[in-house]
Structure 1
Amino acid sequence: MNLDAAKKLITRYIEGHADFIIKAEIAERYYQVQNDIVFRKPKKKPGSDATEVENPLRNADNRIPHSFYELLVDQKAAYMFTTPPLFDVKDDETNQVIANVLGDGWAKRAKLLCVNASNARVAWIHYWVDKETGFQYGVVPSAQIIPVWSTKLDQQLLAVLRVYKDIDPEDGEMYDVYEYWTDTECQAFRKRAADEIVTGLMDYPCFTDFYEAGETDSANTMVHDLGAVPFIPFFNNSIPSSDLDRVKDLIDAYDKTYSGFMNDLEDIQEIIFVLTNYGGASEDGELNKFLKDLKYYKTICTDSVGSGDTSGVSTLTIDIPVEARDKMLEITRKAIFDMGQGIDPQQQGLDATSGEAMKFLYALLELKAGLMETEFRLGFNELVRAICHANNRDCGTIIQTWTRTSIRNDAELVAMCAQSEEIVSKKTILKHHPFVENAEDEEKQLQKEQKERDAQLDAYDDTHQHEPAGGEGGEGNV
């Protein structure tokens, strides 16, 4: 792809990607508990000169964000990926290769995929083969990826345009970098952050080592033999949509109501005195005298102008509709967890509930997790096949074992595993046993212990075979 074609392609896809970035950033902001309430402008009232002035009776300006969205996303991530999925390709050696490639950071990266997909509708893994360390993979921020999909029903991924910012160590300037990946190569372009694409885009010779080694025809192009576009999508659900879409308006309403309640408590926490025909009451000195007389003498003097006069002192208090706001907050909170398909940690009435009945708490969360699991299974299968391809290993059917982290009755699970013997395979029982974290390791340990027991039995048999028939004395029975 020449430079002119790159300018047209990048311009075309960047424009359509702006809306995706905005929505992803809003969801990421709510996940960091930076809700819209934090950026709300203070309320003002119109002034007589058509300007806006602050209301002296309404000085409180509480903006309290609530972390409902963060809780909902973390619940799903912990429920699904505290114990990450295990993969079985029916070959122990290949299984070990896959486990080694995934590495110690597999659980953390799986959780990050879940969080990114929940916020941005889709998460991405990028993989490559390093000459020294072999197969490598990493989670790419969703906002950096612009996919190019096939128009066919299978929606095959044809290419990926990755966009990110980078600082050139030589001139210290910020650049926008564009990497265009296909199933055979990657081309790199860049421009200064302040320049336009049409006038500022240039080739980015970041693959100089490959060019000097004769592995590519240009310093801005890298040829690879991965056999596919080395990016894997992980969609949040089948639509796809963000988890924030369902609950944003409810969270905003809760923040607004709660913050307004706090403002009322601060602004109207003291009695307001209404003085009628109290001479000079507008001066600070007279107001101080009024308060001192009221405190010391418990009385004050007012000027009367005759019958029907309303001179005197009255108090103004404002009743805050506490019950209505409490009900509003209660209803909104319940709606947040219902619409967000989560578990309210303040849910009451569960003290005497059995472990099995507690599972019903996870009904909505399981529904949401199941929709994500359906999409993630496709991505994980693709990742496992890419690992096998890079290591020259055959990969047929892939069995994925998912474990939910929730309240459970371990005694009941152990009993079910015991009752399943001779009905299902021993390996399947080990995979679902609550005490087993890795079925392959547990199977090897059982085999080792069985060999040790067999060796002890053989030693015992050998000892008794060499003993005299008559016992210790060596004499037989007459």
Structure 2
Amino acid sequence: MYLSYQDFIAAKDKGQFINQFIKFHESTGAYKEALRADKYDAQENETILQFQRVYYTLLGQKKIDNFSSNAQICSNFFHKLNTQRCSYSLGNGVFFNDMSVKDKLGKQFDRRIKEAAYNALIHGQSFLFWNVDHVHEFPFTQFAPMWDEDTGALMAGIRFWQLDEQKPFKVVLYEVDGYTTYSAESKFGELKETAPKRAYRQIIETANNLEPEIIGEENYSSLPIVPMFGNKRHISTLRGMQSKIDAYDAVQSGFANDLDDCAQMYWLISNADGMTDDELAEFRDRLKFQHIAKAEEGQVQAYTQEPPYAARKEFLTQMRSEIYEDFGALDVHTIAAGATNDHIDAAYQPLDDNADDFEYFVGDAIEKILELAGIDDEPQFKRNRISNEKERTDMILEAANYLDEETILKKLPFVAPEEVPDILAKLDEESYNRYTEPIEPDTPEDNPEGDE
């Protein structure tokens, strides 16, 4: 059964309902997929790590193969591709028309936004909490949202965490009219209120050098928690990518297993029908360590195998290309050295298309944070991309006669946006000094002839 904000309002025992809601949250497919995405993000690819080689006996019994190689090689595609998409839009931070806005959003604003955006990609959604003058980020694996049945708006939410199974289970309930903290001795144990509901903002006054005193509290007009989605479907980027990553890892691991197994030497002994298995094992060990043995009347011949190589290498190359193409990422190996900007732009097109969609949702979340903070501005993104900088610079300089200084500086690839105001200020100062410096009259030494 789906639980909503209306169910929370109707619940008589809030502590019991909070435990019930967290259990419901952890039972959802989205939550389980988010946990699985965290494993792939940590290069602990679930499928390949759980793989176990087996064999079948002559009677058809399935048994675990403990003798053959079982390499478990996990690729890092998931982390690398999500990092590329996130850093492409947010690697340079967030910019505003008024750069002083950043000072009002806290020193860690860019970092928190990037963390939230990355979690929104791998989990499908994350949450930003505007806490008076700075931002906190809540991942989907630690925050259970309560959606309104009628409007679909986020009306409340539960932040929950536990450092260890032996440590207390901590819960914070966020509502429009304030937040309440709870604690239990164990997860899903009886929740006890550790601090009563309080407002999100406190009005503090200090008079006559006394200790600061809380003289009032107030809330925001809406819940100060904003959802950030990674895409329009609100799903993890692992969806659809896991099967391809698993296939790549399986072939790569199988290739390593074959290299190991085929590197072993096999011995065929003729006229040895009377030797028992123990005697054969003893004969093999003697060859392995002493490299010499008596064959009596029999004949001993060594064999090795060549592992299949070309087909697997071609498969891995093709699968890598499909992973990048399906994710809409840039494979830098496809860009030749010295490529023109036209070729570079063409290679970037899939990444640009996905960035347009991604930045829409990131920008929407930031705009809601600005609204909560009472700031009238809009976010801007400078994409972090490689280019033929000499070609771009030459093009800008050719059009310099038709552009103002600020536009030229903003377009130059090697000038960061935050450097533009300082450069313009220095140019204005130099221009002012050039036209205001007094002209010294000529001295006799400067005009020895006495010419007028």
Asked if Structure 1 and Structure 2 have the same fold, meaning a TM-score greater than 0.5 normalized by the shorter chain, the answer is yes
1:375 aligns with 2:370: no
**Alpha-carbon RMSD:** 3.9
Letter in 1 for 2:388: N
**In 1, are the aligned partners of 2:199 and 2:218 still within 8 Å (CA)?**
no
Report the equivalent of 1:227.
Answer: 221
Shift of the 173–271 alpha-carbon distance from structure 1 to 2, 3 Å rule, reads closer
**In 1, are the aligned partners of 2:42 and 2:79 still within 8 Å (CA)?**
yes
* Gapped regions of structure 2 (runs ≥ 5): 1-8, 205-215
Q: TM-score, normalised by structure 2?
A: 0.79
**In 1, are the aligned partners of 2:179 and 2:198 still within 8 Å (CA)?**
no
State the alpha-carbon separation in 2 of the partners of residues 18 and 27 from structure 1: 16
1:326 aligns with 2:317: no
Report the equivalent of 1:454.
Answer: 432
State the alpha-carbon separation in 1 of the partners of residues 116 and 188 from structure 2: 33
Q: Which moved more, 1:417-426 or 1:67-76?
A: 417-426
Shift of the 136–278 alpha-carbon distance from structure 1 to 2, 3 Å rule, reads same
**In 1, are the aligned partners of 2:338 and 2:388 still within 8 Å (CA)?**
no
Letter in 2 for 1:446: L
Shift of the 224–431 alpha-carbon distance from structure 1 to 2, 3 Å rule, reads farther
Q: Which moved more, 1:43-52 or 1:242-251?
A: 43-52
State the alpha-carbon separation in 1 of the partners of residues 357 and 72 from structure 2: 35
Match of 1:403 among 368, 372, 382: 382
Match of 1:140 among 116, 131, 138: 138
**In 1, are the aligned partners of 2:410 and 2:420 still within 8 Å (CA)?**
no
State the alpha-carbon separation in 2 of the partners of residues 126 and 188 from structure 1: 16
Shift of the 255–45 alpha-carbon distance from structure 1 to 2, 3 Å rule, reads same
**In 1, are the aligned partners of 2:172 and 2:179 still within 8 Å (CA)?**
no
Highest Rg: 1 or 2? 1
By how many angstroms is 1:325 displaced?
A: 1.5
Q: Deviations over 1:177-196 (max 9, x none)?
A: 141322x2223334332545
**In 2, are the aligned partners of 1:87 and 1:399 still within 8 Å (CA)?**
yes
Instruction: Report the secondary structure of 1:378's partner residue.
Output: helix
1:123 aligns with 2:123: no
Report the equivalent of 2:39.
Answer: 29
Q: Deviations over 1:261-311 (max 9, x none)?
A: 11122122234233354243225556766977x976997624xxxxxxxxx
**In 2, are the aligned partners of 1:145 and 1:160 still within 8 Å (CA)?**
yes
State the alpha-carbon separation in 2 of the partners of residues 45 and 457 from structure 1: 89
1:158 aligns with 2:148: no
Instruction: Report the secondary structure of 1:118's partner residue.
Output: helix
Match of 2:54 among 41, 44, 53: 44
State the alpha-carbon separation in 2 of the partners of residues 156 and 381 from structure 1: 16
Letter in 1 for 2:340: S
Letter in 2 for 1:32: A
Report the equivalent of 1:245.
Answer: 239
* Gapped regions of structure 1 (runs ≥ 5): 90-94, 130-134, 215-221, 303-311
Percent pairwise identity: 18
Report the equivalent of 1:335.
Answer: 322
State the alpha-carbon separation in 2 of the partners of residues 261 and 434 from structure 1: 44
Report the equivalent of 1:186.
Answer: 179
Letter in 2 for 1:254: Y
Report the equivalent of 1:202.
Answer: 192
Match of 2:297 among 290, 301, 315: 301
Letter in 1 for 2:136: G
Report the equivalent of 2:421.
Answer: 443
Q: Deviations over 1:382-427 (max 9, x none)?
A: 222333x2xxxx62xx343311111123344445545666867654
By how many angstroms is 1:223 displaced?
A: 6.1
1:273 aligns with 2:267: yes
State the alpha-carbon separation in 2 of the partners of residues 457 and 83 from structure 1: 37
State the alpha-carbon separation in 2 of the partners of residues 344 and 209 from structure 1: 49
**In 1, are the aligned partners of 2:123 and 2:140 still within 8 Å (CA)?**
yes
